[in-house]
Amino acid sequence: MDALLSTDTFYGMIMSGAKQVINDENKLNELNVFPVADKDTGTNLASMMRYIVDNLSVTKDTPELLHQLAQHGLVGCSGNSGLIFSQFFYGLTQHSLTEKTLIKLHDFVEMISKGYQSAYASVSNPKPGTILTVMEKWVESYRDLLKNAGINLADSFKSSVEKSKVALRETMNQLEVLRNNNVVDAGAQGFVTFLEGMLGYLVGSKDEREKILAGSADIENTAKLSHEFEDVTEIPDLRYCFETVVRTTKTDFSDEERKKLDRLGDSIVVGKGPQMLKLHIHTNEPDTVTSLLAETGDILYQKIDDMMLQYNIAHNHSAGNKIALVVDTMADLPLEFIQSNNIYRIPLQVKVNNHSFLDQISINYHQILDYLNDNDNKIGTAAPSAAIVSRALHFLEQFYDSIIIITVGSSLSSTYDVIANQAAKFKHKKISVIDSKLNSAPLSLLVTLAAQMIKDGSSHDAIVKSLDEAKANANILIVLNSLKGLIRSGRLSKSMGMLAGLFRLKPIIQIDVNTGKPKVIGASFSKRGGWKKICKKLNELKIKEQLKSIAVVHSDSDERAKFFGKYINRKTNMTPLFITEVSSVSGIHTDKDSYAIGYINEPIRQLEY
């Protein structure tokens, strides 16, 4: 019963499990059909595991090892499964071990039980047949094994892994989308793969263990990110404090690269580690800095602080407002409006090959277009890093009485789950996380409404109530140049795209109010025909008194978008509150030369900035 697991052995098991997930990245991607068939679950999990492998070091005791694991998992996670996995690691730290350097079997079971509970609590709407189901069955099987007083650690772990494989196979019968595609859940497979890697180390010979740990010895100088806020006591000359971790075989930046960095900013600090460099810089051009760094290696992680925004907030430059307004970067708003209203943005992640960028901050839509022009590039998106969300809330809670966060629709991204999970940890602060059910232009209109209500002195509860009512009658109408973006992201089938391409149709898209996902509601043979149909729809909504404010978003078509805005005004007698370009995340899911109208059934004043 009191089989013991040493800290060193547990470290090796974690490293082995992480490496096994990295090795199986492509296999996991092929399984990925839920919640969106975007084939990136393996990439998201492997990205997190690489961060753990690169940063986790041997410690003197197990609690410190678990603390490191939770921290690195949080920083490195992305996507649904990555978030859940990281919260499992966090939960391991919540059990108080009876011994620091040796884990007893009953302590191990209680520890993984806390891990499952934490993972389960991180998801707003848990479904059977996912990684959570396999976690639960694994923990339950281990509890059953405790009844056998004579079982040892290796045998118990091996038996529990076999039980997890049975639970994995059952996921195919628990979710219809898995059954239809004859696959198991990708996230669940990733968890089982991790367990199999751990088992391989536990039962392996000395030579096998040494091979697994090769290149993963104690690392003292690994580049780690600072989690301290910049002390912004005077108006900064440069807006952003930017940190980036790059995986590279280089030991330092070249003289030429240093000169380029010097031209882009100041306060430059370079941290070094085995096959990693960390850059700290103050700059107004984080996207340009990122382009330079992407040439030196793989962008693993980025952290950014808007020092001007922090200065304005800290020095009460927010016109006495006591309510913080936070939004993710799926809200396509004019940057001037965001900055003048001290709206705090949480960036989604843009994944390009082995790089991880910050949407609208370290990568812009025009850079995405360059990447999209090469079909060999692997491009995707992911929810914000949980660490960045936590960091934002820690800052805002110091200066505001309450916080309102408006997110992209939970059916379109796991962003809501990531943010809600982190917000729940701030139990002493009033925080409302609102699932907009929308994206892009209508999401932006909700943010605009909230900003104006805050400026008008409305209460926290009154704003939340208005937003809940407003989102029920908000939506978007999109005239796409093609369906390439939606097909690429797994949100529409290839057959639909082939049909549209065959007839050279310009699809018209709207968000399905029941599923929260995009659906084709019509098509035209030309953009002007699509514009005409959109105006007809807007006028119908006006007659029904279901529309009071609109906004225009476009992809790489600024002049034509302005013409589009005038056309809308002529046909509907409504003036768009703003005309702006899509974010890099939105642009990935649309196509160049596309247009959208967001609408809401609430009167919103013309923007002031």
Q: Is the pLDDT of residue 470 over 90?
A: yes
Q: Which of the four CATH numbers 1.10.287.70, 3.40.50.10470, 3.40.50.1000, 1.25.40.340 does domain 4-213 have?
A: 1.25.40.340
Structure tokens at 325: 């307004």
Nearest to 190 by CA among 395, 17, 418, 439: 17
Note the maximum CA span of the chain: 82
Q: CATH number of the domain at 475-600, please?
A: 3.30.1180.10
Average pLDDT, the chain: 84
pLDDT at 606: 79
DSSP, res 5: E
Q: How far apart are CA 547 and CA 568, in angstroms?
A: 14
DSSP, res 363: B
Boundaries of every domain in the chain: 4-213, 221-311+354-370, 475-600
Percentage of residues of the chain with pLDDT beyond 70: 88
Nearest to 192 by CA among 133, 144, 125: 133
pLDDT at 244: 87
DSSP, res 606: P
Strands 549-554 and 595-600, sheet pairing = antiparallel
At 500, the pLDDT band (50, 70, 90 cuts) reads: low
Is cis: bond before 35, omega within 30 of 0? yes
Q: Residues 478-487: pLDDT tens digits?
A: 887 766 666 6
Q: Residues 532-585: pLDDT tens digits?
A: 888 999 999 999 888 999 999 998 777 888 998 999 999 999 999 999 999 888
Q: Is the pLDDT of residue 346 over 70?
A: yes
- 8 A C-beta contact, residue 385 and residue 422: no
Strand order across the 355-358 sheet = 355-358, 349-352, 379-382
pLDDT at 239: 92
Q: Residues 123-153: pLDDT tens digits?
A: 766 778 788 999 999 999 988 887 776 677 8
Give CA separation, 341 vs 176, 346, 608, in Å: 45, 15, 9
Q: Which residue has the higher pLDDT, 466 or 173?
A: 466
Q: Residues 258-270: pLDDT tens digits?
A: 899 999 998 887 7
pLDDT at 224: 46
Nearest to 329 by CA among 157, 584, 579, 148: 584
* Fold: same for 4-213 and 221-311+354-370: no
**List of E strands, 329-470:** 344-346, 349-352, 355-358, 379-382, 402-407, 430-435
Q: Residues 503-512: pLDDT tens digits?
A: 466 778 888 8
Amino acid 489 reads S
For the chain, the 3-state helix, strand and coil shares in percent, each to the nearest 5, are 50, 20, 35
Other C-beta atoms closer than 10 Å to the C-beta of 475 total 23
Other C-beta atoms closer than 10 Å to the C-beta of 526 total 12
At 463, the pLDDT band (50, 70, 90 cuts) reads: very high
Phi-psi region of 599 (alpha: psi -120 to 50; beta: other; left: phi over 0): beta
DSSP-derived 3-state class of residue 450: helix
pLDDT at 214: 83
Q: Is the pLDDT of residue 319 over 70?
A: no
pLDDT at 609: 64
Nearest to 576 by CA among 482, 442, 459: 442
Give CA separation, 384 vs 277, 315, 330, 355, in Å: 22, 27, 11, 14
Q: Residues 187-220: pLDDT tens digits?
A: 889 999 999 999 999 999 998 998 888 854 333 3
DSSP-derived 3-state class of residue 57: coil
pLDDT at 221: 37
- 8 A C-beta contact, residue 509 and residue 520: yes
Q: What is the pTM of this model?
A: 0.72
- 8 A C-beta contact, residue 579 and residue 552: yes
pLDDT at 329: 95
At 555, phi and psi to the nearest 5?
Answer: -120, 105
The answer as to CATH 2.60.40 being correct for domain 221-311+354-370 is no
- Element holding 283 (H helix, E strand): strand 276-283
pLDDT at 513: 73
Q: Kindly state the average pLDDT of the residues 225-229.
A: 47
